[in-house]
C-alpha cells in the first residue's frame, strides 16, 4: 500500500514537473502573487460572509497584506507579450494603458479597505462595501485581460 502510494506520488510529481515553468520566470512570479492575492481575499471575504469567524485583528492584518500584494504583480508583466503557460490575453499588450488603469483601480480599492480597518471596534457591516469593490476590481480586469 505504501509503495503504491509512493509510486503514485512520484508520477504526480513528475507530471507536475513537466508542466511547471521556471519558478524565476516573470509568469511564475506573477502567478504566485495572484494566488496569494486570491488566498488573502478569500479569507477576508469568508469572514464577511460567515464562512470564517470574524476576527477584527486578523481582518485588519489581512487588509494590509492585500494592499501590499495588490502593488506587486504588475512589475512581472513585461512590455512585450511573453511567457508560455500564461493565461493573459494578447490584448493586454495592445491596451497597456487600460490594463494599468485597472491595476490602479485595484490598488485604490485595497487602500480604501485598509483605511477602513483602522477604525475602532471594527464591524463586518462597514467592511462589506469596500471588500465588494476589491472583488469587483479583480473581476473587471480578469474579464478583459485573462483567459478563463
Ligand atoms: C489589472 C488586471 C488584474 C487585476 C486587477 C487582478 N488580476 Fe488576477 N490576473 C490578471 C492576469 C492578466 C492574470 C493572468 C496571469 C498570467 O497567467 O500570466 C491573472 C491571474 C490571476 C490568477 C491565476 C493565477 C495562476 O496561478 O494562474 C488568480 C488566482 C488571480 N489572478 C487572482 C486575482 C485576485 C484575487 C485579484 C484581486 C484581489 C486579481 N487577480 C486582480 C490580471 C489581474
Looking up cell 469596500 gives 130
Q: Which of 104, 82, 109 is nearest to 93 (CA)?
A: 82
- Residues having CB closer than 6 A to ligand 1 are 27, 30-31, 34-35, 37-38, 41, 83, 86-88, 92, 99, 102-103, 106, 134, 137-138, 141-142, 145-146
pLDDT at position 54 is 97
Closest by Cα among 102, 71, 106 to 89: 102
For the chain, which ranges sit under pLDDT 50?
Answer: 10, 14
Which of ligand 1's atoms lies nearest the C-alpha of 105?
A: 5
The alpha carbons of the chain give a radius of gyration, in whole angstroms, of 18
Q: At 45, list the grid cell.
A: 471575504
Q: How far is the CA of 142 from the centre of ligand 1 (A)?
A: 6
Q: Which residues contact 145 (CB under 8 A, 6 or more apart)?
A: 88, 89, 91, 92, 99, 102
Predicted local distance difference test score (pLDDT) of residue 82: 75
Amino acid at each position: 500500500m505504501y509503495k503504491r502510494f509512493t509510486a503514485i506520488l512520484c508520477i504526480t510529481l513528475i507530471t507536475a514537473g513537466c508542466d511547471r515553468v521556471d519558478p524565476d520566470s516573470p509568469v511564475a512570479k506573477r502567478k504566485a502573487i495572484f494566488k496569494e492575492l486570491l488566498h488573502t481575499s478569500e479569507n477576508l471575504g469568508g469572514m464577511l460572509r460567515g464562512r470564517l469567524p470574524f476576527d477584527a485583528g486578523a481582518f485588519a492584518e489581512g487588509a494590509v497584506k492585500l494592499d501590499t500584494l495588490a502593488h506587486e504583480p504588475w512589475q512581472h508583466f513585461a512590455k512585450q507579450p511573453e511567457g508560455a503557460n500564461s493565461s493573459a490575453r494578447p490584448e493586454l499588450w495592445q491596451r497597456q494603458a487600460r490594463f494599468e488603469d485597472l491595476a490602479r483601480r485595484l490598488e485604490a480599492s485595497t487602500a480604501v479597505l485598509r483605511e477602513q480597518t483602522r477604525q475602532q471596534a471594527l464591524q463586518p457591516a462597514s467592511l462589506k462595501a469596500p471588500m465588494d469593490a476589491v472583488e469587483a476590481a479583480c473581476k473587471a480586469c480578469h474579464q478583459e485581460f485573462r483567459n478563463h
